[in-house]
A and B are shown apart, each in its own frame.
Chain A
Amino acid sequence: MNPAIRLGSVSKAFGAVRALDDVSFEVETGRLFGLIGPDGAGKTTLIRIVASLLTADAGTVQVLGNDPAVAYRSIRKRIGYMPGRFSLYPDLSVEENLRFFATVFGTPFATAVERVRDIYAHLEPFRTRRAGALSGGMKQKLALCCALIHEPDLLLLDEPTTGVDAVSRREFWDMLAGYRDRGLTILVSTPYMDEAARCDRIAFIRDGRILAVDSPQTMPLRFPHPLFRVRSADRAALAAALATYPHRHSAYAFGDSTHVADARPGAGPESLLEWLEAAGIPARVEPIAPGLEDVFMELDALWQPV
């Protein structure tokens, strides 16, 4: 089967800012693909190009088999797009918004509700509430409903969970996984590393460049150093001791622990333990497998201008 999205060396500049720089990847049909990167990485520009709302300066773009710059009319009927900013009508009620979008896509309201029944179930108790008065998580669920009522083949979501709390984020991703299981292709962008783990495939993006494309399971294998989790009650002393550790490649805080990468291939925890002991810091050191955030920071640091 042809990929749902195929990008070849896509570049886009806004004045002097290179928003996208030689971006290439494919999104296979029926997959949940995550575009993972911070604000300003180029995620929105990329999604807008795929959605036919912007055109690339250079490179090739294929969406559902066609070039969105040419076949935008037919493509727009087959994609659902949820922009980063809440873009529904805040003065209309939940139900009125849904009716409006159903009408725009020529879908009877009952059919529309039937198509998004699982999500709409969360919203129905609030169906008379103005969309503007919904909580962040509910707004996103309503926006998702409105993006799905015409049964698109491809769903594009630009940072759907930014500013949304941890519980609502999990629910939202459960819903996405459900639609993916029913065959929908999804391209979703997010700054949250923990969400990357829920994708079938991810691209790390930073300053308009793709750092890596991989599955969340194999992406961590790209981390090139032995990695240790260090825990100590005295975090300030630990940080000071790690700052001067001679074999340190990197040391980053991870919640209540610190991840220390050793610059020497194959190194064990012994020399780190000895160093901390000599500094008089009681600490627990254990070898760990790198996670997605470890890899992102490693790849990111490689790209950063010194």
Chain B
Amino acid sequence: MNAIETHHLTKRFGGFTAVDDLTFSVRAGEIFGFLGANGAGKTTAMKMLTGLAAPTSGDATVAGRSIRDHAVSVKKRIGYMSQRFSLYEDLSVRENLRFFGGVYGLDDATLADRIARFETTYHMSGRMHTRVKELPLGIKQNVAFGTALLHQPDIVFLDEPTGGVDPITRRRFWGMLVEEAARGTTLFVTTHYMDEAEYCDRIGMMVDGKLVALDTPARLKQTMGVATMDDVFVKLARGGAA
């Protein structure tokens, strides 16, 4: 089963085509790395897949629903986290969870249960009343991820979740992603760290609005005859084909 399927997905801004005829699919339970240079169209594509922007033409099915016809219902089935914003810094961990639980329409009993489970999963007992801005960055990230999972979405979109994070915390975070994917959640991740691209099941690479490569990291390296994903990225971004 596929968590995401896009069919000729296109977005134009005036004469500029930001996303150009994108057709690909992401399998359920997959960690899908979405790569591309700045301005390649990643953000615009993500905005369409998360129901925040309407396509100019084409369509996509996310969690079994068309983003064109059912954008609201798509939003209920997905989670989103980014390094820059996804929590309220002045609210406590618990208040953030209650807020987002409310946004997703969880009833009190369900929410209490999920918050209790969150507390154990992320070892947060004793920190639930701490304001988010007082948490160390690594913990803040776990909280952001746990919050994105609160309504048990099918797919979580992670937009540069580890930017600026120290190397040990980055690795722990990826360990957590691998565990979550093993439970069946689909993870759609963008990153500028090419070692992290190696941890993805498959990689889609955008250049100038088009998807120019889609494969496992191992096969991309093999096909292109290079040793690292960094080399794959540079070669593709500079106009080579996979």
Contacts and interface: CB of A to CB of B under 8 A. Distances in A.
A164 B199 contact: no
Interface in A133-173: 135-138, 159, 162-170
A168 B38 CA distance: 8
A135 B41 CA distance: 11
Given A40-B137, A162-B163, A166-B192, A256 B198 contact: yes
Contacts of A267: none
Interface residues of B, number: 34
A165 B137 contact: no
Contacts of B38: 135-138, 163-165, 168
B119 interface: no
B165 to A, nearest CB: 6
A105 interface: no
A135 B164 contact: no
Interface in B15-59: 36-40
B233 interface: yes
B163 A163 contact: yes
A287 to B, nearest CB: 18
B231 to A, nearest CB: 10
B164 A38 contact: yes
B212 interface: no
B198 A300 contact: no
Contact of A167 (B160, B199, B233): B233
A253 B199 contact: yes
B229 A165 contact: no
B89 interface: no
Contacts, number: 89
A111 B235 CA distance: 36
Interface stretch (B91-99, B150-158, B167-175): B167-175
Contacts of B199: 253, 255
Contacts of A137: 37-39
B118 to A, nearest CB: 23
A31 to B, nearest CB: 25
Interface string A97-141: 000000000000000000000000000000000000001111000
Given A40-B137, A170-B234, A255-B228, A165 B169 contact: no
B97 to A, nearest CB: 23
B38 to A, nearest CB: 4
A38 to B, nearest CB: 4
A204 to B, nearest CB: 10
Contacts of A206: 166
B56 to A, nearest CB: 19
A35 B172 CA distance: 23
Contacts of A193: 167
B195 interface: yes
A277 interface: no
A165 B174 CA distance: 20
Contacts of B163: 162-163, 191
A193 to B, nearest CB: 7
Contacts of A167: 37, 233-234, 237-238
A58 B163 CA distance: 31
Contacts of A300: 166-168
B217 interface: yes
A170 B238 CA distance: 12
A255 B167 contact: no
Contacts of B241: none
B194 A166 contact: yes
Given A39-B165, A297-B167, A163 B192 contact: yes
B164 A159 contact: yes
A254 interface: yes
Interface in A260-306: 293, 296-297, 300-301
Interface of A: 37-41, 135-138, 159, 162-170, 191-194, 206, 236, 252-256, 293, 296-297, 300-301
Interface of B: 36-40, 136-137, 160, 163-169, 171, 174, 178, 192-195, 197-199, 217-218, 228-230, 233-234, 237-238
Given A253-B199, A296-B167, 19 more contacts: A38-B137, A38-B165, A38-B169, A39-B165, A41-B166, A137-B37, A159-B164, A162-B163, A162-B164, A163-B38, A163-B163, A165-B37, A166-B194, A166-B234, A167-B234, A168-B38, A169-B192, A297-B167, A300-B167
7 contacts: A135-B37, A159-B164, A163-B163, A166-B234, A167-B234, A252-B171, A255-B228
